[in-house]
């Protein structure tokens, strides 16, 4: 760490189970930030640490004066694509880790009672689930619901599931990363750009509101994507253009710690997480208890208090939607 420049991200490999929690305590004292707890290597657990003194989570967005209260649900983690910057390591080889219908229904009911304003259902690819229709319908019955999808599976029973959903309560958010196929397909797989655009057309023809999300790696890509979406007739409120995050399978992008982000409660089969962009990393895990949702929100507030106690500023937004 002494030889690193301020703002550099280094990897620490712990060989003892006590190393990771010790490093988290050490980071609070020194000001260095844990920006990823990325599983294990043959030698032990790997943590990413950003040296203090450099830019703090560059390219994030200042928190607005009012932010919609939204709950994220990871319906599953398996996917039909293997995107090389997936923040939660989804792929055809990933374990499904699905939320069951009863849990989804209970979470939606809790979210409504707790004055959330919207539910986001993501994955993996949610339309891989045979019961995705009833799960989204259960959410939409309680609150307006947005489903994040690559829009490549709208055929057969999956199209029937899509057609069954209420148009006035369900929005689709489709990932398209570039104005032409070259960059998008390089990250997401050959042919995926064309199939995603076909999926957008199908969804619109069925009467759904469609938002488009792009993951970019610089200001130039952001500007060209914004112009492309404007030319495509996508209104500004339906464009989500975000930087790549140094999480999951990404080997570049914005590195940030939990304390630098506004929390967006995120439920997976494994527990409640701080934010959807880190929902496969232990440093974002708040509690393994999913229900009741109110108890998990209390745990988030306790962690926010801890961050404030150590001088961390929770003032930035990383928009996944």
Q: Which residues contact 102 (CB under 8 A, 6 or more apart)?
A: none
Chain segment 295-309, per-residue pLDDT in tens: 999 999 998 887 776
3-state secondary structure of 307: helix
| CA gap 148, 155 in Å, rounded | 17
- The predicted-structure confidence for 61-97, as pLDDT tens digits, reads as follows 555 555 679 999 999 999 999 999 999 999 999 999 9
Q: At what angle do helices 132-142 and 101-113 cross, to 10 degrees?
A: 10
Is 262 in contact with 312 (CB distance < 8 Å)?
Answer: no
Cis peptide before 292 (omega within 30 of 0): yes
pLDDT tens digits in sequence order for the chain, 321 residues long:
888 888 888 888 887 777 777 887 787 677 788 787 766 556 667 888 888 776 555 545 555 555 679 999 999 999 999 999 999 999 999 999 999 999 999 999 999 999 999 999 999 999 999 999 999 999 999 999 999 999 999 999 999 999 999 999 999 999 999 999 999 999 999 999 999 999 999 999 999 999 999 998 877 888 999 999 999 999 999 999 998 888 898 888 888 888 888 899 999 999 999 999 999 998 899 999 999 999 999 999 998 887 776 655 555 778 888
- What does the alpha-carbon distance between residue 36 and residue 27 come to, in Å, rounded to a whole number? 12
The Cβ-side half-sphere exposure at 290, using a 13 Å CA radius, reads 19
Separation of alpha carbons 186 and 190, rounded Å? 7
**pLDDT value of position 39:** 65
Instruction: State residue 66's pLDDT score.
Output: 58
Tokens standing for 186? 């390089």
Which H or E run includes 48?
A: strand 45-50
Taking phi first (over 0 means left), then psi (-120 to 50 degrees means alpha), and beta for anything else, what does residue 97 get? left
């Amino acid at each position: 760490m002494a030889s690193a420049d301020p703002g550099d991200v280094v990897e620490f490999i712990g060989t003892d189970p006590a190393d990771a929690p010790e490093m988290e305590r050490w980071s609070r004292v020194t000001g260095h930030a844990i920006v990823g707890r990325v599983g294990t290597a043959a030698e032990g657990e790997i943590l990413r640490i950003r040296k203090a003194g450099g830019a703090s989570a560059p390219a994030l967005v200042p928190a607005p004066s009012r932010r919609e209260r939204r709950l994220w649900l990871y319906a599953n983690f398996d996917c039909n694509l293997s995107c090389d910057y997936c923040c939660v390591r989804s792929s055809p080889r990933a374990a499904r880790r699905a939320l069951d219908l009863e849990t989804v229904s209970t979470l939606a009911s809790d979210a409504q009672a707790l004055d959330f304003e919207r539910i986001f259902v993501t994955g993996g690819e949610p339309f891989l689930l045979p019961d995705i229709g009833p799960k989204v319908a259960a959410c939409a019955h309680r609150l307006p619901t947005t489903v994040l999808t690559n829009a490549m599976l709208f055929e057969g029973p999956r199209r029937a599931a899509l057609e069954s959903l209420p148009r006035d309560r369900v929005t689709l958010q489709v990932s398209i990363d570039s104005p032409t196929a070259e960059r998008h397909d390089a990250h997401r797989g050959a042919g995926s750009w064309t199939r995603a655009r076909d999926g957008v057309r199908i969804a619109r023809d069925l009467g759904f509101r469609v938002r488009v999300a792009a993951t970019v790696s610089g200001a130039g890509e952001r500007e060209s994507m914004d112009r492309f979406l404007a030319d495509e007739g996508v209104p500004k409120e339906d464009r989500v253009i975000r930087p790549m995050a140094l999480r999951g399978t990404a080997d570049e992008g914005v590195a940030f710690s939990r304390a630098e982000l506004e929390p967006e409660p995120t439920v997976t089969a494994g527990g409640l997480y701080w934010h959807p962009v880190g929902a496969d990393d232990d440093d974002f895990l708040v509690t393994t208890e999913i229900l009741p949702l109110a108890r998990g929100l209390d745990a988030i507030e306790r962690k926010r208090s801890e961050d404030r106690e150590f001088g961390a500023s929770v003032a930035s937004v990383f928009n996944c939607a």
